[in-house]
């Protein structure tokens, strides 16, 4: 995956090939070393892909210019075609990607990594649990959502409750409607974790089944006139929103990860006229 960052122009170095870094020790490892172990030999932290700095820093970023449309003028398929044609775009926090497929592939890769790190057999060390969850909250690691840390860091104050929530959210023997309700309003509520983080976790653990519910999702579904019926029950509301996202993915012949990126694109591209 080719990722270009423009956050720090002072670091204009070109890495010779895939490298991995320990963000705790600040050490870099080769792909050969990574293939032997995905953990840092010094501190045991999980190794992460090291971002490649662009060899062409002068390359201009593609701007997503907003267009004003009436609701009758909004064509989802046309917008989706535009989204898939994006190139050299800022997907968040100054990270520039060549194209949308690379972004989706990158997201799916980090989902798989976090799913492994939060798996039942790995949730045995609370120090690593806290470190892994902290990393999940930042866009440079999840490549999907930029503001999770604003509230999510509060969850680190009670690692036992966080552990219980992460375990419960992954339990597929429990209906997702119940997991969302209990995670947001019930026995498994964890301070700092709202609908955006809870459903981001659901999506990370099972990106083919669960979409993401946040304010951008709600606003964009309203723009394209797919807002589900209102309800005060968080579990039922997520189920209806997920149904809409799943239906949209079927209509566009794509997956829920791409749909989540598409929600982001529509929110930037379309300004509705009343």
Crossing angle for the helix pair 234-251 and 256-269, nearest 10 degrees? 90
CA 96, CA 89: separation in Å to the nearest integer? Answer: 5
Q: What is the pLDDT of residue 59?
A: 56
CA 28, CA 22: separation in Å to the nearest integer? Answer: 6
Q: What is the pLDDT of residue 9?
A: 32
Q: Is 271 helix (H, G, I), strand (E, B) or coil?
A: strand
CA 111, CA 201: separation in Å to the nearest integer? Answer: 9
Interval 56-79: pLDDT, tens:
444 577 889 999 999 889 999 999
CA 97, CA 105: separation in Å to the nearest integer? Answer: 11
Q: What is the pLDDT of residue 1?
A: 45
Beta bridge partners, 19, equal 30
CA 72, CA 137: separation in Å to the nearest integer? Answer: 37
Separation in Å, CA 90 to CA 6, 141, 220, 267: 9, 15, 19, 14
Beta bridge partners, 28, equal 21
Give the phi and the psi of residue 47 in degrees, each rounded to 5: -85, 145
Strands 19-22, 27-30: pairing kind: antiparallel
Helix H or strand E segment including 30: strand 27-30
Per-residue pLDDT for the chain (274 aa), expressed as one digit of tens each?
Answer: 444 433 333 333 333 445 677 777 778 877 677 667 767 888 777 676 665 434 444 457 788 999 999 988 999 999 999 999 999 999 999 899 999 999 999 999 999 999 999 998 878 888 899 999 999 999 999 999 999 999 999 999 999 999 999 999 999 999 999 999 999 999 999 999 999 999 999 999 999 999 999 999 999 999 999 999 999 999 999 999 999 999 999 999 999 999 999 999 999 999 998 6
Interval 237-267: pLDDT, tens:
999 999 999 999 999 999 999 999 999 999 9
Q: What is the pLDDT of residue 55?
A: 41
Q: What is the pLDDT of residue 2?
A: 42
What are the residue ranges spanned by the domains of the chain?
A: 66-87+108-273
């Amino acid at each position: 995956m080719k990722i270009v960052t423009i956050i720090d122009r002072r670091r204009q170095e070109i890495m010779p090939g895939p490298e991995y870094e320990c963000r705790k020790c600040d050490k870099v490892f080769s792909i050969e070393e990574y293939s032997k172990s995905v953990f840092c030999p010094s501190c045991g932290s999980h190794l992460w892909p090291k971002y490649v700095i662009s060899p062409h820093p002068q390359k201009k970023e593609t701007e997503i210019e907003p267009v004003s449309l009436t609701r009758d003028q909004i064509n989802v398929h046309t917008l989706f075609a535009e989204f898939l044609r994006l190139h050299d775009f800022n997907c968040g926090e100054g990270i520039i990607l060549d194209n949308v497929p690379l972004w989706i592939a990158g997201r799916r890769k980090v989902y798989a990594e976090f799913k492994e790190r939060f798996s039942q057999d790995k949730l045995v060390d609370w120090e690593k649990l806290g470190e892994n969850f902290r990393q999940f909250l930042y866009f440079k690691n999840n490549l999907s959502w930029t503001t999770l840390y604003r509230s999510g860091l509060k969850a680190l104050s009670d690692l036992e409750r966080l552990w219980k929530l992460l375990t419960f959210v992954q339990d597929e023997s429990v209906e997702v409607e119940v997991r969302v309700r209990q995670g947001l309003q019930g026995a498994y509520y964890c301070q700092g974790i709202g609908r955006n983080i809870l459903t981001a976790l659901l999506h990370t653990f099972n990106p083919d089944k669960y979409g993401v519910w946040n304010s951008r999702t709600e606003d964009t579904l309203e723009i394209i006139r797919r807002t589900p019926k209102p309800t005060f029950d968080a579990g039922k509301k997520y189920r209806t929103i997920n149904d809409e996202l799943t239906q949209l993915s079927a209509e566009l012949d794509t997956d829920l990860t791409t749909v989540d990126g598409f929600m982001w694109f529509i929110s930037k591209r379309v300004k509705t006229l009343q």
